Amino acid sequence: MAKVILKKKIDVTTTALGDVKSYARKIWLAGLGAYTKVGQEGSEYFQELIKEGQTVEKKGKKVVAEKLEAANTEIEEAKSEVSTFKGKVEVQLDKVEKAFDSRVASALNRIGIPSKHDVETLSAKLDELTALLERVARKS
């Protein structure tokens, strides 16, 4: 009887060991299958990611180009406005300068100081008189 009990224990151990080996093999095969599937689908997935990235990049470039064009348009408009404003300022500055010159000349004339035009006219007359005197002096 002792032999029968021992034989049953060995059979149970052998069966359990076989089940463990079988289960371990199934785990190994499942791992290999997962590795293969990831290798195949991973490559396809990677290609899909590349395509998506290219699509996003094109859209991003388009948006950047549109924003850049809008900014350049705004800059050109601002330049135009500044040029127009600058022209108006120059015209007003000329008017102020002429008014200032006129008032200063008027004030100087009132106190008896000759204008630039008066001095130039007088200088021209002196040059004529000097030339006339030199001609008269040569003839004598």
Instruction: Please state the domain extents for the chain.
Output: 2-139
Cα 40 from chain centre: 43
Between 39 and 48, whose confidence is greater?
48
Question: CA torsion sign, 106 to 107 to 111 to 117?
Answer: negative
Backbone φ and ψ for 15, nearest 5 degrees, come out as -65, -45
CB 133 within 8 A of CB 139: no
User: pTM value?
Assistant: 0.40
In this model, does residue 125 exceed pLDDT 70? Answer: yes
Cα 128 from chain centre: 68
Greatest mean pLDDT range, 1-10, 45-54, 105-114, 119-128: 119-128
